[in-house]
Amino acid sequence: MPRPQTDVNGMFKTGYILNRRADIVWFLGLPFFAVAMALGFQAWLPYVAVASINLWITIPHHYAGWVRSYGMPDIWERFRNRLIAGPIVIVGFTIMGLQFAPITLLLLVTAWDHQHSLMQQHGLARIYDFKAGAGLPSTRRFDLGLHCVLYGYMFISAPMFRFLWIRELHRMHVPVSAGFVDGLLTVSQIVLVGYLIVYALHLRQIAVAGGTINPIKYLFIGASYFLWYFVAWQTTSILLYAVAHRLMHGVQYIVMVYSYMRRTASKGTSRPGFWSRVTGKGRLRWFLVGGAAYAVLFQLLINRPLDEFGFGVVNFAPYPALPEFGIPALDYSSGYALFSQMMVYAYGLMHYYLDSFIWKVRDKQTQRGL
């Protein structure tokens, strides 16, 4: 597939990840649609249905990552040691963490999840510059700084996140006063404004050096942070935030993986494998069916109650009590709590781990698929 066409107008040069129409749908319009859907879910659906939607969105995009990592022979041979050793270490680390330091593990997983989300949007923004041939070599570092500052400011200042980290610090017996919090908020505002000025000077440097700027990249960044900022400041519901975020994050990830594999197949630059059986004309449905089947398999493995999985329509009763043996009822919150959490955390951690090295935009092999 040829590189998307670009338009040049002075210092501005537009390029698209997929093409103009597809980018408007998946990368520029999707965040606004996700916010509207999440608000609708919160207003009209019961909590269990919203939780189900969150699960169904999250798990299939993990499947897309597995196909990209383990289903492409070239990727498997190139990163064989990492693909074998990483999951073993992560699962072991998760089991140990759940047994000896569950709160610490939760904080580490949460931090990695935020870093993973930030880096996905940063990577997509870098693809916009790559497609348009825009920016300077230093733009990558300035873009990363911009994402860190914007996301960090939200985490510190937005009511939804602020209430969470203040509560967690108190739970960990770390004393924080109202004055300390107010001071931290002031510092975060100063850092935000200061870095925006620095970034504006960098854009000026691009123009002075004769470089070009891709305005579509900044529309994409603005749309992404509109979703995060709007939800984080308009609600204290972490579930609403999760649904809106996962709609954007998960769907964009699936689109990128499938687009990458489709372009790789059209160029013939990678050997056939499982990935090629679910890629190409007439095969998209099998890729999507695989994601749905993976979500069902994941559900069965962690044994989450099916009323949470099935939008409140299906209710699979937990294991009943066996009084004659003195065995109490086995439900999710008791007997399977440790196992289910290990599965959730381990799968999430492995997804973050794989993405940390298979999606380097500066990597030549990745560039060929973009």
Q: What is the pLDDT of residue 126?
A: 93
Rg value, the chain, Cα: 22
Tokens of 340: 């289910």
Residue 128 near residue 15 (C-beta atoms within 8 A): yes
Q: CA-to-CA distance for 24 and 236, rounded, in angstroms? A: 29
Q: Residue 194's Cα: distance from chain center in Å?
A: 27
pLDDT average per 10 residues of sequence, the chain (370 residues): 49 93 96 91 70 72 86 89 88 75 69 86 93 94 96 91 75 76 94 98 95 96 96 80 86 90 83 84 81 74 51 46 51 45 60 80 66
- Residue 100 located in a structural domain: yes
Q: CA-to-CA distance for 59 and 62, rounded, in angstroms? A: 5
Supply the DSSP string of 282-340, one letter for each residue.
T-HHHHHHHHHHHHHHHHHHHT--HHHHTTTT---PPBPPBGGGTBPPB-TTTTTHHHH
- Residue 17 located in a structural domain: yes
Q: What is the pLDDT of residue 286?
A: 82
Amino acid at position 139, single letter: T
- Residue 50 located in a structural domain: yes
- Residue 160 located in a structural domain: no
- Residue 311 located in a structural domain: yes
Q: What is the pLDDT of residue 313?
A: 46
- Write out the residue range of the structural domain in which residue 320 sits: 7-134+212-369
Q: Is 12 exposed, middle or buried (0-12, 13-18, 19+ CB in 10 A)?
A: middle
Q: What is the pLDDT of residue 346?
A: 57
- Residue 165 located in a structural domain: no
In this structure, the strands spanning 7-9 and 12-14 are antiparallel
Q: What is the pLDDT of residue 317?
A: 45
Question: For the chain, how many structural domains are there in total?
Answer: 1
Q: CA-to-CA distance for 215 and 87, rounded, in angstroms? A: 39
* Residues forming a β-bridge with 8: 13
Is pTM beyond 0.85? Reply is no
Q: Is 69 exposed, middle or buried (0-12, 13-18, 19+ CB in 10 A)?
A: buried
Backbone torsion region of residue 303, taken as left when φ is above 0, otherwise alpha when ψ lies between -120 and 50, otherwise beta: left
- Residue 250 located in a structural domain: yes
- Residue 144 located in a structural domain: no
| DSSP H or E segment with residue 13 | strand 12-14
Could you tell me which residues come within 8 angstroms of residue 55 by beta carbon, excluding any fewer than 6 positions away? 295, 299, 304, 308, 309
Supply the DSSP string of 207-266, one letter for each residue.
HHTT--B-HHHHHHHHHHHHHHHHHHHH---HHHHHHHHHHHHHHHHHHHHHHHHHHHHH
Q: How many CB atoms lie within 10 A of CB 109?
A: 19
